Structure 1
Amino acid sequence: MRVPEWLDQTRISYDTVAASYADLLRGRLAEEPFQRGILGLFAELVRGRGPVVDVGCGPGRITGFLRGLGVDVFGVDLSPGMVEQARRDHPGLRFEVGSMTALEVADGSLGGVLAWFSLIHVPDEAVPGVLAQFCRVLAPGGVVLLGFHAGEGVRHVTEGYGGHPMNVLVHRRSAARVAGWLVEAGFTVEGELVHRPDPKSEGVFLFAHR
């Protein structure tokens, strides 16, 4: 089967920036009390429900944080370079190369799914299929947390994380739009949190369960 171009470009881009990305974001959560609080709530909701997957885990910084909160968590990322960084930074945790469009996880086997700003490169037409994957792998009552950039429109990123070349699209979406996709995929949306770290930036975090 032919791999969509956006998946190829995302993988290549994050392979290119993997080492710089890991260096730049390592320790960043220590400066983000709001994000730590959101992840703490997610940990409370999923703890004891079974394994949790951090989809688009990058260098594993969120995966490692959740493990520190007692969550049975593993990471999956499209970029082999990112997975290599994650295994180096968190040698006691499990990380795999994989795509959120076709998760190699058994039906109903997970207690939680986290997509922490990893849906931002997925085009609109592919999002429903990705959310259907999340619903498939979750056990009944399992929890999903989505974090994404709020707003409208698409930005083409050609450089990032230390000046390395990239070729990815960053999608901004309204909470209502993503919540609608979650409902269509079989989820019940339970909570919405908005974070405005500065006047030009807004993040949305949606909690839902199967």
Structure 2
Amino acid sequence: MTSRWERIARETVGDDYARAYAERFRAMAARGADIHGEATFVAGLLAPPARVLDAGCGTGRVAVRLAELGYDVVGVDVDESMLEQARAEAPGLDWRQGDLATFDLGETFDLVLVAGNTIPLLEPGTLHDACKRLGHHLSPGGVIVCGYGLDAAHLPGDCPPTALDDVDAAFGAFGLDAVARYGTWTGDAFEPTDGYAVTLYAESTR
């Protein structure tokens, strides 16, 4: 069965989407663009060598940068073709194949990062299970960071938006509250009309 992500990627980029995706960010970096916003955001929350799970790591751009900064990183993704690009870029890092709705790595992390529109690209009906599995991989006192687009302008192809309230409720069912929310990876104030959110989820204190 073709995943929502794979279908959209093939329709919008083509069959060689994994290589094209990796090349896009290499080209941006070559032009002087800062492509490390997510890693910089993580570095502002906790210091290395903290353990970080990059959930939905794709071609590994964020995980590679975090490793360069000294973090102990594991990347997991459902798409083997994206992981092939990640392994080629950084063969010494720990890359795992897994569906976020069912995966179990048998270990926990100080921070779980879910970036790159991973949340809205989940398969229909799997948000609750994915949030449960993500929370299962969080160490006590840790934080889950989710960043994704909220409208069509910030999402690929025909990917439907996922409401913030639905994600908050899914994590809340497992004792994780939304403790902070920003509008960008640089920490700008959140404005719903801007179409993007970065939310921190941590253990409930209630």
* TM-score category (smaller protein): 0.7 to 0.9
Greater strand proportion: 1
Matches within 5 A, 1:50-129: 50-106=50-106, 109-116=108-115, 117-123=117-123, 125-129=125-129
Would you say 1:10 and 2:10 are equivalent positions? Answer: no
The structure showing larger relative contact order (alpha-carbon pairs under 8 Å, at least 6 residues apart) is: 1
CA shift, 1:124, in A, is: 5.3
Identity fraction in percent: 22
Partner of residue 183, structure 2:
194
Which amino acid in 2 is paired with 1:172? P
Residue 130 of structure 1: aligned partner: 130
Gaps of 5+ in 1: 158-168
Q: List gaps (5 residues or longer) in structure 2.
A: none
> TM-score, normalization: structure 2?
0.76
* Maintained 8 Å contact 2:152/2:159: no
Shift of 1:62: 0.8
The structure-2 alpha-carbon separation of the partners of 1:69 and 1:55, relative to structure 1 and needing over 3 Å to count, comes to same
Deviations 1:138-159 (A, max 9, x none): 1111111101111389x883xx
Partner Cα distance (1:27, 1:123) in 2: 30
| Separation in structure 1 between the aligned mates of residue 49 and residue 138 of structure 2, nearest angstrom | 10
Shift of 1:32: 4.1
**CA offset at residue 11 of structure 1?**
4.5
d(CA) in 1 for partners of 2:76, 2:109: 13
Where has structure 1 moved over 6 Å in runs of 4 or more?
A: none
The count of corresponding residues between Structure 1 and Structure 2 is: 188
Cα-Cα RMSD: 3.1
